[in-house]
């Protein structure tokens, strides 16, 4: 605590250079990860103002750069919002429980009318509150009304024994949420609709039906993401929904061609998924070029999650067995797969041009394409070992690159992710090579050398920064 106060006292005497530093600090990739914690940064800025580190005007300037209202952030309470949301949920559960407990004693007409009145009344009150008093409270009432709407669908179906196709109830529930999501542009209501749509998607697919209307919910989420408040949760659900829909559509197309079973997974799905993540990664960098704060926030999230997906994929394929499974798999839809991969790859390269990442993106796509050709056309089981070695080399190279980026750009997330990649590679190779003590020892020596080299470069880089 004493050390912290000493640091604050030291910084407090340097106000004259804080504001110019803020103005000149880059808005690019070096600071994108801070955007994920921008509300915490805004609240911390309030502490700095209280202890005299910076002035209130400078705190407002810092928050404005990341699209946060400084004064609202001081009153903002994530815990309060969570408690209110849970309270609305438990109100809905309590009402549903009371109705269910006395269901048999209530006349049928009263049941029907009561459910309709409860749903309509809640939505009307929510609309009045949204337009006249408090939009956020109105959104909460809309969420509550949507829960009542879903319960009404379920209970009315029981009254009139409407259960021929069970996913239809979930579909109409999700569809009933869409108008309120479009009117309010609320990410929470859009998230509710999209989550219900995903449940309907799974039920529909598991029963052998194609979810024809699923893109409607994807487009609604896209509209809210573009025109409403920023929401990381809605962004992630939106991206997952797109991935599921594309992959299942391809699976259905290949199933019809081969006259196979529903929900068949093909090795071609994995190839398309990898190229889709490459496209998403390029899209994230392209989005970071936009001037809006929301676009840059979304770019940061996309970049981080694509990077994590890439490392997890490399760790899985650092063993020989996944490569052997792909080599032995039946690649029955190569022509259509290559057409999709070519289209996605072309879009990825097109997005890489304005971000000045054409060479690195081209190398990544070329290596992935070579690996796909070897496993889908080669058919040689001995290739699995060579591909495993190549994957481990790429994994080590990625760890070194992340450590370098973390040190050079000052992004701790990259640094620790790179160190974690190297340590996990060492651990997995030790498990894989148990009994071969000489090989394990050589691997440990190699990784120790890499980490020592990274530490020496860190010291050298800090020395150069000190000279500057």
Encode pLDDT of 121-149 as tens digits. Answer: 888 888 888 888 778 788 888 888 888 88
For the record, the structure tokens of 464 come out as 């150069």
C-alpha distance across the termini of the chain, in Å: 30
Q: Would you state the pLDDT for residue 459? A: 62
Q: Would you state the pLDDT for residue 6? A: 40
Structural domain boundaries of the chain? 2-74, 266-316+323-376, 382-468
Quick one: CA dihedral 357, 363, 367, 370, positive or negative? positive
3-state secondary structure of 259: coil
Per-residue pLDDT tens listing for the chain (468 residues)? 333 334 334 433 433 333 343 333 334 444 444 555 566 666 677 777 777 777 777 777 777 666 666 556 555 555 555 666 667 667 766 766 766 666 666 666 776 777 788 788 888 888 888 888 778 788 888 888 888 888 788 777 765 555 566 788 889 999 999 999 998 898 999 999 999 999 999 988 888 888 889 999 999 999 999 888 888 889 999 999 999 999 999 888 887 765 655 566 788 889 999 999 999 999 988 988 888 878 888 888 898 888 888 888 888 888 888 888 888 887 888 898 999 999 999 999 999 999 888 888 899 899 999 989 888 886 677 788 888 888 888 888 888 888 877 777 666 677 778 878 877 777 777 666 554 555 556 666 766 666 666 666 656 655 555 434
- Alpha-carbon distance of 68 to 317, in angstroms, equals 41
Model's pTM, two decimal places?
0.73
Q: Would you state the pLDDT for residue 31? A: 42
* Count, residues in the chain: 468
Q: Would you state the pLDDT for residue 327? A: 87
224 close to 185: Cβ distance less than 8 angstroms: yes
Q: Would you state the pLDDT for residue 113? A: 76
For the record, the structure tokens of 56 come out as 């209130």
213 close to 178: Cβ distance less than 8 angstroms: no
Q: How far is CA 316 from CA 320, 392, 425, 444, in A?
A: 9, 10, 10, 20
Residues 6 or more apart whose CB falls under 8 angstroms from that of 288 comprise: 28, 29, 32, 295, 296, 299, 300, 303, 355
Residue 192, classified by CB atoms within 10 Å of its CB into exposed (0-12), middle (13-18) or buried (19+), is buried
- Alpha-carbon distance of 252 to 260, in angstroms, equals 9
Q: For the chain, what is the mean pLDDT?
A: 76
Q: Would you state the pLDDT for residue 232? A: 85
Q: Would you state the pLDDT for residue 452? A: 66
Q: Would you state the pLDDT for residue 17? A: 36
Distance of CA 239 to the CA centre of its chain: 7
Q: How far is CA 365 from CA 64, 349, 371, in A?
A: 38, 9, 10
DSSP 42-64: HHHHHHHHHHTSS-HHHHHHHHH
Q: Would you state the pLDDT for residue 440? A: 56
């Amino acid at each position: 605590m004493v050390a912290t106060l000493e640091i604050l006292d030291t910084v407090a005497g340097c106000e004259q250079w804080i504001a110019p530093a803020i103005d000149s600090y880059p808005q690019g990739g070096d600071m994108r990860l801070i955007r994920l914690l921008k509300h915490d940064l805004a609240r911390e800025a309030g502490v700095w103002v209280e202890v005299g580190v910076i002035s209130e005007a400078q705190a407002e300037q810092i928050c404005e750069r990341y699209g946060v209202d400084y004064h609202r952030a001081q009153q903002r309470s994530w815990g309060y919002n969570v408690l209110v949301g849970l309270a609305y949920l438990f109100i809905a559960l309590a009402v549903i429980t009371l109705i269910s407990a006395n269901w048999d004693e209530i006349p049928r007409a009263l049941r029907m009318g009561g459910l309709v009145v409860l749903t309509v009344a809640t939505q009307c009150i929510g609309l009045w509150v949204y337009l006249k008093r408090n939009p956020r409270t109105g959104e909460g009432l809309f969420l509550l009304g949507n829960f009542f709407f879903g319960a009404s669908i379920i209970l009315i179906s029981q009254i009139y024994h409407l259960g021929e196709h069970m996913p239809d109830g979930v579909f109409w529930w999700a569809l009933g949420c869409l108008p309120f999501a479009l009117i309010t542009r609320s990410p929470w209501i859009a998230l509710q609709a999209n989550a219900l749509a995903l449940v309907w998607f799974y039920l529909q697919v598991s029963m052998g039906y194609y979810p024809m209307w699923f893109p409607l919910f994807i487009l609604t989420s896209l509209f809210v993401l573009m025109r409403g408040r920023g929401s990381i949760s809605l962004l992630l659900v939106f991206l997952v929904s797109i991935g599921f829909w594309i992959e299942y559509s391809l699976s259905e197309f290949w199933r019809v061609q081969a006259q196979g079973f529903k929900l068949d997974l093909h090795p071609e799905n994995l190839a398309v998924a990898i190229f889709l993540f490459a496209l998403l990664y390029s899209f994230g960098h392209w989005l970071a070029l936009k001037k809006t704060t929301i676009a840059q926030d979304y770019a940061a999230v996309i970049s981080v999650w694509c990077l994590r997906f890439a490392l997890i994929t490399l760790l899985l394929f650092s063993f020989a067995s996944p490569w052997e499974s792909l080599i032995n798999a039946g690649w029955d839809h190569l022509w259509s797969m290559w057409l999709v991969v070519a289209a996605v790859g072309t879009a990825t390269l097109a997005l890489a041009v304005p971000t000045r990442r054409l060479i690195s993106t081209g190398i990544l796509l070329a290596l992935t394409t070579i690996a796909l050709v070897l496993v889908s056309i080669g058919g040689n089981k001995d290739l699995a070992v060579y591909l495993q070695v190549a994957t481990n080399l790429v994994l080590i190279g990625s760890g070194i690159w992340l450590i370098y980026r973390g040190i050079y750009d000052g992004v701790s997330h990259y640094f620790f992710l790179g160190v974690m990649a190297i340590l996990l590679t060492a651990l997995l190779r030790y498990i894989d090579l148990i009994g071969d003590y000489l090989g394990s020892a050589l691997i440990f020596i190699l990784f120790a050398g890499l980490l020592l080299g990274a530490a020496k470069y860190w010291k050298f880089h800090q020395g150069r920064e000190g000279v500057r």
